[in-house]
Amino acid sequence: MAGEMNVLGNLSFMTNMITKFKDSFYLNFIKDDRWKYITDGLQTTLVLTFFAVLIGIVIGFFVALVRSTYDKTGKLKILNFICRVYLTVIRGTPVVLQLMIIYYVIFASADISKVVVGIIAFGINSGAYVSEIVRSGIMSIGDGQMEAGRSLGFNHFQTMRYIIMPQAFKNVLPALGNEFIVLLKETSVAGYIALQDITKAGDIIRSRTYSAFMPLIAVALIYLILVMIFQYFVGKLERRLKKNER
Amino acid sequence: MNVSLQEPLIQVKGVKKQYGSTAALKEIDLEIHKGEVVFIIGPSGSGKSTLLRCLNRLEEPTAGEILLEGVNITDKKVNIDEYRQKMGMVFQHFNLFPHMTILKNLTIAPMKLQGKSKEEAVAEAMRLLKRVGLENRADAYPDQLSGGQKQRIAIVRSLCMKPDVMLFDEPTSALDPEMVGEVLSVMRELANEKMTMVVVTHEMGFAKEVASRVIFMDQGSIVEENAPEELFSNPKSERLKTFLSKVL
């Protein structure tokens, strides 16, 4: 008898839980179409990350090229100096501050969309880290490769493009993948300039419904899934590039 | 350009190379004529590799001039990339491009630099690959080849640019002993075809057999130069005698 009571008790406890979960889910996501905060926020996060990654890659490769050209040949002295100032400033200050300075100071009087500001800020920030990653990749390629390219008659930039960069890229792919994961998560501070990214969306729901668990965990799960999808594709690319070698 | 038969292919005039306070090369003068096979020997640190690398300006001479077919290629206004196409170079460590197939290794420079079509470049590469017996490895990657095979490919890569002179920087020093022969036989064939060659090497027997002239360097200077049989059997300077007694 006692056992039966226990089973019944457990059962009612579980139905109770499920009902609570359902209610909470309804409150946080269904009522007043609150799921739209999540989907709109997700879209903002993805747009921010995607374009910031592109800007980061362009800046990063350019800066790495300038810096390694200067290291090897002594050319591009002024550009190299500018690049070093950029690296020092960007890596020496928090990304949140860079974001706020770009929005509230630099574009203070300009009529410009916040998303664009976010893309610029996160892109400039990421470029600094990408450039050091790419530069380490360039340095990992032995001098013999540059000499072989130059001795055939390629100039410095042709050798970089056809011979050094493709090998360097393969070597730094894991580190680059890591940088983009970091960037995706770093965009979560976009709320500081009132950009409604997915983190902000979760927070807005929390402040409306006074329940923290459901919206915050949901947002965390979405980040996790995004990162896992990204990791899958980077891993695939890595394997494909490796196959090319042997 | 009209090059008279008498004019040397390469002229080295008073070339010096200074690394900080140490002089790697002290006032080198040297002429290399078309069809010559010049071997440079000497103890390590004697400056022989530095001299060779100065010839195509992989190493910038501190002073002096280097003329290729009458053109001063140490002049800063000269586009050195253009003249490097006429000087093939083979390295001790092969320096093949590991991310490309053998065929791509051989065709990329002719296609990008000499404007050859893919068909032309591939046909020429395959012809030369056949000559060194590696036509069946065209689609392999460098890491799949042995050291001797890699060095033969490296030679072919330079030949694909149809150079006027080939520079060899200790081409067999990084090879296992059983692979030295296959590389030397390719070089021997080139020499027989009257390719102009400058070879830095420790292979004295090979120098004796193939060279038209041997240069002995020590401490950054050319100490003695002569025809191989004369230089090896009748060394004049004390330094060369000591060197030969150690290596022969």
Who has greater pLDDT, B5 or A117? Answer: A117
- So what's the pLDDT on residue A72? 86
**In terms of CA atoms, which chain B residue is nearest residue A156?**
B81
8 Å CB contact of A148 and B95: yes
**In terms of CA atoms, which chain B residue is nearest residue A144?**
B95
CA distance A116 to B202: 64
* Residues 100-139 (B) with a CB less than 8 A from some CB of A: 108-109, 112-113
Size of chain B, expressed as the number of residues it contains: 248
Average pLDDT over residues B173-197: 96
Task: Please count the other Cβ atoms lying within 10 Å of the Cβ belonging to residue A239.
Answer: 10
Cβ neighbors of A142 (< 8 A, separation 6 or more) are: B95
8 Å CB contact of B95 and A170: no
8 Å CB contact of A155 and B81: yes
Q: End-to-end CA distance of chain A, in Å? A: 70
Average pLDDT of chain A to the nearest whole number: 92
The one-character DSSP state at B212 is S
Q: How confident is the model at residue B1 (pLDDT cuts 50, 70, 90)?
A: very low
Q: Which of B197, B97, B53, B88 is nearest to A152 (CA)?
A: B88
Residue B218 has pLDDT above 90, yes or no: yes
CA distance B196 to B37: 6
CA distance B104 to B112: 11
8 Å CB contact of B82 and A153: yes
Task: Name the residue among A142, A166, A246 with its Cβ closest to that of B144.
Answer: A246
- So what's the pLDDT on residue A30? 87
Query: Could you tell me if A60 and A129 are in contact, meaning their C-beta atoms sit under 8 angstroms apart?
Result: yes
CA distances B69 to B7, B38, B213, Å, are 7, 17, 20
Task: Name the residue among A151, A162, A244 with its Cβ closest to that of B84.
Answer: A151
Residue A32 has pLDDT above 50, yes or no: yes
Q: How confident is the model at residue A245 (pLDDT cuts 50, 70, 90)?
A: low
Residue A78 has pLDDT above 80, yes or no: yes
8 Å CB contact of A245 and B141: yes
**In terms of CA atoms, which chain B residue is nearest residue A142?**
B95
Q: How confident is the model at residue B7 (pLDDT cuts 50, 70, 90)?
A: confident
**In terms of CA atoms, which chain B residue is nearest residue A148?**
B95
Query: Could you tell me if B103 and B135 are in contact, meaning their C-beta atoms sit under 8 angstroms apart?
Result: no
DSSP track, B215-246: EEEETTEEEEEE-HHHHHHS--SHHHHHHHHH
* Three-state DSSP string of chain A: CHHHHHHHHHHHHHHHHHHHHHHHHHHHHHHHHCHHHHHHHHHHHHHHHHHHHHHHHHHHHHHHHHHHHHHHHCCCHHHHHHHHHHHHHHHHCCHHHHHHHHHHHHCCCCCCCHHHHHHHHHHHHHHHHHHHHHHHHHHHCCHHHHHHHHHHCCCHHHHHHHHHHHHHHHHHHHHHHHHHHHHHHHHHHHHHHCCCCHHHHHHHHHHHHCCCHHHHHHHHHHHHHHHHHHHHHHHHHHHHHHHCCC
Average pLDDT of chain B to the nearest whole number: 95
Reported ipTM: the value is: 0.92
Q: How confident is the model at residue A1 (pLDDT cuts 50, 70, 90)?
A: low
Contacts of A163 in chain B (CB under 8 A): 97
Angle between helices B147-159 and B118-131 (to 10 degrees): 130
Residue A244 has pLDDT above 70, yes or no: no
Residue B180 has pLDDT above 70, yes or no: yes
CA dihedral for A70, A73, A75, A77, sign (positive or negative) = positive
Q: B28 pairs with which residues across the strands?
A: B15
The DSSP element (H or E) to which B65 belongs, if any, is strand B63-68
Q: CA torsion, points B203, B208, B211, B212, in degrees to nearest 10?
A: 160
Give the tokens for residue A106.
């630099």
Average pLDDT over residues A62-74: 92
Give the tokens for residue B33.
């004529």
The DSSP element (H or E) to which B153 belongs, if any, is helix B147-159
Residue B54 C-beta-side C-alpha neighbours within 13 Å: 32
User: How many beta-carbon contacts under 8 Å exist across A and B?
Assistant: 63
What pTM did the predictor assign? 0.85
- So what's the pLDDT on residue A13? 87
Size of chain A, expressed as the number of residues it contains: 246
8 Å CB contact of B95 and A245: no
CA distance A21 to A24: 5
8 Å CB contact of A244 and B99: yes
Task: Name the residue among B56, B109, B143 with its Cβ closest to that of A154.
Answer: B109
CA distance A160 to A72: 12
Tell me the pLDDT tens digit for each residue of A145-193: 999 999 999 999 999 999 999 999 999 999 999 999 999 999 999 999 9
Note whether B77 contacts A: Cβ–Cβ < 8 A: no
Note whether B81 contacts A: Cβ–Cβ < 8 A: yes
Tell me the pLDDT tens digit for each residue of A198-236: 999 999 999 999 999 999 999 999 999 999 999 999 999
Task: Please count the other Cβ atoms lying within 10 Å of the Cβ belonging to residue A104.
Answer: 12
CA distance B53 to B92: 12
Q: How close does chain B come to A52, measured CA to CA in Å?
A: 29
CA dihedral for A197, A200, A202, A207, sign (positive or negative) = negative
Contacts of B95 in chain A (CB under 8 A): 142, 144-145, 147-148
Task: Name the residue among A149, A151, A167 with its Cβ closest to that of B98.
Answer: A167
Q: B200 pairs with which residues across the strands?
A: B40, B169
* Residues 189-248 (B) with a CB less than 8 A from some CB of A: none
Only one residue has tokens 């008498």, namely: B6
Range in A196-200, B1-5, B94-98 with the lowest mean pLDDT: B1-5
The one-character DSSP state at B45 is T
Task: Name the residue among B99, B143, B158 with its Cβ closest to that of A166.
Answer: B99
Helix/strand/coil for B24: strand
Residue A26 has pLDDT above 90, yes or no: no
**In terms of CA atoms, which chain B residue is nearest residue A171?**
B99
**In terms of CA atoms, which chain B residue is nearest residue A146?**
B95
Query: Could you tell me if B196 and B177 are in contact, meaning their C-beta atoms sit under 8 angstroms apart?
Result: no
8 Å CB contact of A152 and B95: no
Contacts of A148 in chain B (CB under 8 A): 89, 91, 95-97
Note whether B96 contacts A: Cβ–Cβ < 8 A: yes
Query: Could you tell me if A66 and A76 are in contact, meaning their C-beta atoms sit under 8 angstroms apart?
Result: yes
